[in-house]
Amino acid sequence: MKLVHITPHLGGGVGKAHAALCAADDEAWKRRYVLLEAPRDPHYADLVRASGATITVAPDAAALDALMRAADLVQFEWWNHPLLLRLMAWTDLPPMRSVAWSHVSGLHAPLIPPGLIGAVDRFLFTSACSLLSAPLSGVLAANAGRIGVVNSGFGFPRPVPGDTGTGRAGRVSYLGTVDFAKMSPAMFEVIDRLEADVVVDLHGAAADDSPVRAAVAAMRHPGRVRLCGHSQDPAAVFAQSSILLYLLQPNHFGTAENALVEAMSLGCAPLVFANACELAIVHDGETGFVVRDVAEAAARLDWMLARPDAVAHIGRRAARDVARNRTPALSLAQLRTTWLAMLDRPRRQPSLSAALGSSPADWYRRLQGLEDDDCIDAAGAPGAASKGSLAHFRAHFPDLEARK
């Protein structure tokens, strides 16, 4: 089976997922990855290539058309990247068997355009939480036979060198995006309210002018937070921690939550807010703890700090749960089942422009949940060109219209 993956790049969580899947696949040499832009960090692309897959970077239109026509199946790695939208909406795609694997939840912006689900042959989510999406409720019911869920967040294999066993008791960490676009500012109020005098290590890059640094400075007990910067070795962080304090914004953009799954795989007991994504991963009282507000979070964290044996037990259950349910081998088997079932289907030309819109402004509005006559600037503030942001779109489409 000749499989072509089309993806903007192989960085971040998407690259990590595919590197793990290719490493588990003894037929990875049959895969070709088409990257729409050169990778900024080639780490995961190099791992994919080392597994035997072929990588083609930014082919011209004729070469890409030939690759898609020769493939038994084309899989679009979906998220709100301007280059992927340009390809899908503006290209006269050839007849194909098409799959889209969504690497955003669609619960909040960036939304998943409802028409996209019916435009491809199969649509896969990375988390069951996406099935709760209110904007997608009608289209999910109408297309139940072509929808599936395949996890893309995997744990570390055990054992991991550096696991300190009982020496990790009482150590609390956060690892991930140190930015209020994802992490909740309530985390610092929770830490301030603790009866226990504990230090929480925050692992992740934070600029000198980051609002996170300002929030720490404004705490009553700023010494309880240690900004550790980016970690090159998350496994070591988790192996030396007993509690993962993972309190995120209710409308955060995550779905597979690699850091959460990786921490659980190494026996960290997570404390999370009751967001849909986290609820699909953490089972309250069994593999971690789910709380609904600051007061409950502070009380539960104090409870955890006072009961290291109970926390260790929860951590062991979390590790077993990940080992059973969140492995590359399991996701690969689910993907392969989907792919093989499609080989008898006739090729058809996907009509993606109607689902996405005809202009970059249309794409951006639909992904942000804006009406056709809404001002684009209302959905995004100026800033760095983070993935799918207004600045990101304007970096690729400088004449992006401010109004329709």
Low-confidence winner among 55-69, 172-186, 358-372 (lowest mean pLDDT) = 358-372
**Assigned domain for 199 exists:** yes
Specify the amino acid at residue 72. D
Based on the domain organization, do 148 and 169 belong to the same domain? no
Based on the domain organization, do 126 and 180 belong to the same domain? no
Specify the amino acid at residue 188. F
**Residue 374 scores a pLDDT above 80:** no
| Residue 371 pLDDT grade (very low, low, confident, very high; cuts 50, 70, 90) | confident
Domain span holding position 309: 165-325
**Residue 111 scores a pLDDT above 60:** yes
Based on the domain organization, do 301 and 183 belong to the same domain? yes
**Residue 307 scores a pLDDT above 80:** yes
Q: Which of 386, 10, 391 is nearest to 207 (CA)?
A: 386
Work out whether the CA dihedral 391, 396, 398, 399 comes out positive or negative. Answer: negative
The count of domains in the chain is: 2
Average pLDDT over the chain, rounded to an integer: 92
Reported as a single tens digit per residue, the pLDDT across 74-86 is 999 999 999 999 9
Based on the domain organization, do 319 and 333 belong to the same domain? no
**Residue 382 scores a pLDDT above 70:** no
Based on the domain organization, do 105 and 197 belong to the same domain? no
Phi then psi dihedrals of residue 9, to 5 deg:
-165, 180
Rounded Cα distance between 140 and 13, Å, is: 25
**Assigned domain for 210 exists:** yes
Number of H helices, E strands in the chain: 17, 13
Based on the domain organization, do 232 and 279 belong to the same domain? yes
Which single residue is written with the structure tokens 């967001």?
275
Reported as a single tens digit per residue, the pLDDT across 122-163 is 999 999 999 999 989 999 999 999 999 999 999 998 765 555
**Assigned domain for 296 exists:** yes
* pLDDT, position 290: 98
Based on the domain organization, do 95 and 82 belong to the same domain? yes
**Residue 369 scores a pLDDT above 50:** yes
* pLDDT, position 169: 87
* pLDDT, position 401: 64
Task: Assign residue 132 the CATH number of its domain.
Answer: 3.40.50
**Residue 310 scores a pLDDT above 70:** yes
**Residue 69 scores a pLDDT above 90:** yes
The pLDDT of 376-396, averaged and rounded, is 67
Based on the domain organization, do 131 and 227 belong to the same domain? no
Q: How many CB atoms lie within 10 A of CB 26?
A: 9
Percentage of residues in the chain with pLDDT exceeding 70?
93
Quick one: tokens of 306?
């006072």
The pLDDT of 270-277, averaged and rounded, is 97
What DSSP assignment string belongs to 9-61?
-S-HHHHHHHHHHHHT-TTGGGEEEEESS--SS-HHHHHHHHTT-EEEES--H
Reported as a single tens digit per residue, the pLDDT across 334-354 is 999 999 999 999 999 998 988
**Assigned domain for 383 exists:** no
* pLDDT, position 375: 64
Based on the domain organization, do 233 and 347 belong to the same domain? no
| Residue 209 pLDDT grade (very low, low, confident, very high; cuts 50, 70, 90) | very high
**Cα of 392 vs its chain's centroid, Å:** 18
Which single residue is written with the structure tokens 């301007």?
82
**Assigned domain for 390 exists:** no
| Residue 388 pLDDT grade (very low, low, confident, very high; cuts 50, 70, 90) | confident
Q: How many CB atoms lie within 10 A of CB 37?
A: 16
Rounded Cα distance between 169 and 184, Å, is: 25
86 and 396 in contact (C-beta within 8 Å)?
yes
Based on the domain organization, do 288 and 275 belong to the same domain? yes
Based on the domain organization, do 124 and 236 belong to the same domain? no
- DSSP element (H, E) containing 368: helix 360-368
Task: Assign residue 232 the CATH number of its domain.
Answer: 3.40.50.2000
**Assigned domain for 370 exists:** no
**Residue 56 scores a pLDDT above 60:** yes
Specify the amino acid at residue 189. E
What DSSP assignment string belongs to 91-137?
S-PPSB-EEEEESS-SSSSSPPPHHHHHHSSEEEESSGGGGG-STTH
79 and 103 in contact (C-beta within 8 Å)?
yes
* pLDDT, position 126: 97
- DSSP element (H, E) containing 342: helix 328-342
Rounded Cα distance between 28 and 13, Å, is: 19
Domain boundary pick from 269, 302, 325: 325
* pLDDT, position 383: 42
Cα 124 to Cα 11, 98, 121: the distances in Å are 20, 11, 10
Based on the domain organization, do 240 and 335 belong to the same domain? no
Q: In a 10 Å sphere around its CB, with 0-12 CB exposed, 13-18 middle and 19+ buried, how is residue 266 labelled?
A: buried
Domain boundary pick from 300, 325, 350: 325
Which single residue is written with the structure tokens 């903007």?
8
**Assigned domain for 314 exists:** yes
**Assigned domain for 380 exists:** no
